[in-house]
Structure 1
Amino acid sequence: MANPIYILNGPNLNLLGSREPEVYGIETLVDLEQRCVRKAQRLGCTVDFRQSNTEGDLVGWIQEARTNASGLIVNAGAYTHTSIAILDALLACKVPIVEVHLSNIFTREPFRHRSYVSQAAKGVICGLGGLGYELAIEAVAAAVSDA
């Protein structure tokens, strides 16, 4: 796998570890990135881990992934439930896409049950905390090797 797996994180994920630890756990974004780097190394691949609170940044990175990434893991945060712009960018991105959420969005507020991201994703992993990112890396790596 020559190109990295892009891991894109949306708004407020920079607050992991301090924001609602009863929902999101105590692992920080830096901890999560290190976990992902280690998992990718064990699988013989690399990751490009990013976070932004800005929808336009995420759209730009998804467009960049079309040519620079072997696969894409997306935790779009609250944009999951609101952003048609992110959905449109994902639909134009022909690499394997896995949607990840630290919490189980289906056991939370009803507005979180709708995901635009999932309409473009090969799979969705939610409710497993940081382990979900590791499983997503495995899924993307397997999809790329099968292609």
Structure 2
Amino acid sequence: MTQPIHILNGPNLNLLGTREPDVYGTLSLKEIEQACAKHARDLGYEILFRQSNHEGELIDWLHDANVNACAVVFNPAAFTHTSVALHDAVRAIEPPVIEVHLSQTAAREAFRHHSYIALAARGSITGLGLQSYLLGINAAITSLGN
């Protein structure tokens, strides 16, 4: 059986559904997880879905994905714009990493226009709400060459 796709989520995403719904939408993180699981299953893959507010834990999960995932869909949230350590962790692992964001970061505050993760990821999908995740799964699978 193929290893799962790891879907990793960064800080404050546990508040989805109630946090700035005009920016991030009204879906909860649990609802996004359920949609991702169904979409991946329809494509013949399983997922491991995780969220942390702690940078070091996300780094540990990226290291774990190097051994236990076929690919990673990663929403680093605010760490996108600040974390060289996450950038280095993405560069250090073999599975393809697709960066995703619910909101269109390029159309937001100037400090959100730069992504350290995009410099290391296979690709980035932003601004499409839930579709960013689903397209991220598609891109991750395509990156595997299957």
Following the alignment from structure 2 to structure 1, what is the Cα–Cα distance between the partners of residues 143 and 79? 25
Following the alignment from structure 2 to structure 1, what is the Cα–Cα distance between the partners of residues 136 and 75? 11
Match of 1:44 in 2: 44
Q: Does 1:139 align with 2:135?
A: no
Q: Does 1:125 align with 2:128?
A: no
Indicate the SS of the match to 1:117.
coil
Indicate the SS of the match to 1:99.
strand
Q: Deviations over 1:117-141 (max 9, x none)?
A: 0011111100000111000101111
- Unaligned 5+ segments in structure 2 are none
Following the alignment from structure 1 to structure 2, what is the Cα–Cα distance between the partners of residues 120 and 6? 17
Indicate the SS of the match to 1:57.
helix
Amino acid at match of 1:43: L
Q: CA deviation at 1:69?
A: 0.4
TM-score normalised over the length of structure 1: 0.97
Q: Does 1:106 align with 2:103?
A: no
Q: Deviations over 1:14-58 (max 9, x none)?
A: 000000000000000000000000000110001100000000100
Amino acid at match of 1:58: L
Q: CA deviation at 1:2?
A: 1.2
Runs of 4+ residues over 3 Å off in structure 1: none
- Unaligned 5+ segments in structure 1 are none
Match of 2:96 in 1: 96
Following the alignment from structure 1 to structure 2, what is the Cα–Cα distance between the partners of residues 72 and 117? 12
Count of aligned pairs: 146
Percent of counterpart pairs with the same letter?
A: 50
Following the alignment from structure 2 to structure 1, what is the Cα–Cα distance between the partners of residues 10 and 119? 17
TM-score normalised over the length of structure 2: 0.98
Match of 1:17 in 2: 17
Q: Deviations over 1:103-122 (max 9, x none)?
A: 00000000000100001111
Q: Does 1:116 align with 2:111?
A: no
Match of 1:76 in 2: 76
Q: CA deviation at 1:77?
A: 0.6
Following the alignment from structure 1 to structure 2, what is the Cα–Cα distance between the partners of residues 142 and 126? 18
Q: CA deviation at 1:78?
A: 0.4
Amino acid at match of 1:17: G
